Structure 1
Amino acid sequence: MALTVSLVVFAGIVVLILLRTGYLRIWPALAAALFGFTLASSGVAPAITSGISSIAGMLSSIG
């Protein structure tokens, strides 16, 4: 749970920085957010969550 919140906060900060610097416009950002919400409600969401958890576990065992 803590990793998920941290990943969401990190992604939000990256999107805000990209919006402020002009590398990302508002409409593509909204499209990406809608895609993320749609993807989260699909059947592939558990596989994505599992992949992120395994990568986080691998990174935590390294350091």
Structure 2
Amino acid sequence: MTTAAPELLTVPDVMARLKVGRTKVYDLIRTHQLASIKIDGARRVPADAVRDFIQSRLAEAA
């Protein structure tokens, strides 16, 4: 049984999904609020990490 590879987003993809700027995305990554990986120097963020980040923020706001 094979599992599907997680969808990996670029920083501009994350910027668009969260409606924030590049600096904010990198700040979230730097402070470990948003998980990411590097592939040959290119930063990628799993789509699940963005979803989890949004869900945690919604839970905090409730």
**Shared fold (TM-score greater than 0.5)?**
no
Q: TM-score, normalised by structure 1?
A: 0.31
Q: TM-score, normalised by structure 2?
A: 0.32
RCO comparison, higher one (Cα < 8 Å, 6+): 2
Higher normalized helix content (fraction of residues): 1
